[in-house]
Amino acid sequence: MKNLIKLTIAIAILLTSGIATGQELTVTGTVVDSRGVPLPGTNITIVNSTKGAQTDFDGFFTIEANKGDQLMLSYVGFYPQTVTVQDETKLEITLEENVEGLDQIVIIGYGSSSKTKIATSIGTIRGEDLTDIKFPSIQSLFSGQITGVQASQLSGRVESGIKVRVRGVATIGASQEPLYVLDGVPLINEDESINNSPINPLIGLNPDDIDSIDFLKDAAAAAIYGARGTNGVIIITTKKGNSSKPKITLNTSTGLNFTTKKRDFLNAQQYIELYTEA
């Protein structure tokens, strides 16, 4: 009788462990593009989990997941895709190319070209991306928008310049400011103040007139500007007229200022009395 009870308990334990281990599946598969070319380095993560994997050179991946889990696949230049784990453990996933960002036309030193045909390091800010951003100056929006570009305010004066560095410091003795080019015309950005603070060449430029801002960050992109492009080149293109229907845009903003603490000033009679006593 005792042996029968032990045997029953052992069978129950085996069945329970089999069910527990059966919930986790070994999911394998390949990730390709629309032409069937493998996508190495594709990131595969389980939603709401820390588990993840990456495809190898042949686009193959292996990951442990439970039935019902969602696999999030992401790859640069492609739209992210979510796949739910079912009974099928061998997957073949095709990612859709995101050609919207690659078809943008960017301005370079010697003309304009599509991003797909450019091998140099160029960053771009579009005018439509600036409509909902409130910033005190044009240079202040550079930080956080373009990789490798830092901007910092030097003083509180309205006309004072902003220190902009493209990929760090490139020169020691000469000016470290990038070259600004507005609609094909280089702007003067020399140190003309007593505290060696560069003047702001963009102080008179209306941010709403900007169509695009292109950053030429490496030597190949800025080669046409010679030594002036040593610290990088920032090309600003303003909006131009077109043949579309007229459009009126109105932007308004309001604000309130309150005095945190008011001082009690003397009137004329009190001032005379105190001045006489002194």
User: For tokens 């292996």, what's the residue?
Assistant: 62
Q: Is residue 125 very low, low, confident or very high in pLDDT (cuts 50, 70, 90)?
A: confident
More confident residue, 229 or 274: 274
pLDDT band at 49 (very low <50, low <70, confident <90, very high): confident
Is the CB of residue 226 less than 8 Å from the CB of residue 189? no
pLDDT averaged over every residue in the chain: 75
Q: Give the pLDDT of residue 122.
A: 73
**How many helices (H) does the chain have, and how many strands (E)?**
2, 16
Q: Grade residue 60 by pLDDT with cuts at 50, 70 and 90.
A: very high
Query: Which amino acid is located at 260 in the chain?
Result: T
**Weakest mean pLDDT among 127-136, 145-154, 229-238, 256-265:** 127-136
Q: Give pLDDT, residue 204.
A: 75
pLDDT value, residue 109: 52
> pLDDT of 95-106, one tens digit each?
988 765 555 555
Distance (Å, whole) CA 60 – CA 54:
8
User: What is the per-residue pLDDT for 106?
Assistant: 54
State which amino acid sits at residue 262: K
Q: What pLDDT does 237 receive? A: 85
**Per-position DSSP letters for 26-63, written without gaps between them:** EEEEEEE-TTS-B-TT-EEEETTSS-EEE--TTSEEEE
Residue 144 has pLDDT above 70, yes or no: no
- Burial environment of residue 187 by CB neighbours within 10 A (0 to 12, 13 to 18, 19 or more): middle
Find all residues with CB under 8 Å of 126, minimum gap 6, and list them: 104, 211, 212
pLDDT over threshold 80, residue 137? no
Both tokens of 276, joined, read 């006489």
Q: What is the pLDDT of residue 20?
A: 43
- Residue at 96: amino acid letter: E
Report the predicted TM-score, pTM, of the whole model to 2 decimal places.
Answer: 0.47
Amino acid at 209: D
DSSP letter, residue 97: B
> Do the beta carbons of residue 138 and residue 202 sit within 8 Å?
yes
Q: Which residue is associated with the tokens 């190495």?
A: 40
- Higher-scoring residue by pLDDT: 29, 136: 29
- Could you give the 3-state DSSP secondary structure of residue 134? coil
pLDDT tens digits, 152-170: 766 666 556 677 788 777 6
Which residues have CB under 8 Å from 97's CB, separation 6+?
A: 33, 34, 77, 78, 79
Question: CA–CA separation, 134 vs 255, rounded Å?
Answer: 13
Could you tell me how far CA 239 lies from the centroid of its own chain?
A: 23
Residue 1 pLDDT level (bands cut at 50, 70, 90): low
Indicate whether 275 pLDDT > 80.
yes
pLDDT, greater one: 21 or 139: 139
Q: Which of 108-117, 133-142, 162-171 has the lowest mean pLDDT?
A: 108-117
What are the chain's domains?
23-94 (2.60.40.1120), 105-238 (2.170.130.10)
Q: Which residue did the predictor score with more confidence, 261 or 268? A: 268
Percent of the chain beyond pLDDT 70?
68
Whether 189 shows a pLDDT value over 60: the answer reads yes
Q: Phi and psi (nearest 5°) for 109?
A: -60, -30
Does residue 41 contact residue 54 with C-beta atoms inside 8 Å?
yes
**Structure tokens of 265?**
């000033």
Q: Which residues are CB-contacts of 195 (< 8 A; sequence separation ≥ 6)?
A: 154, 155
Block residue for tokens 């990789």 = 147
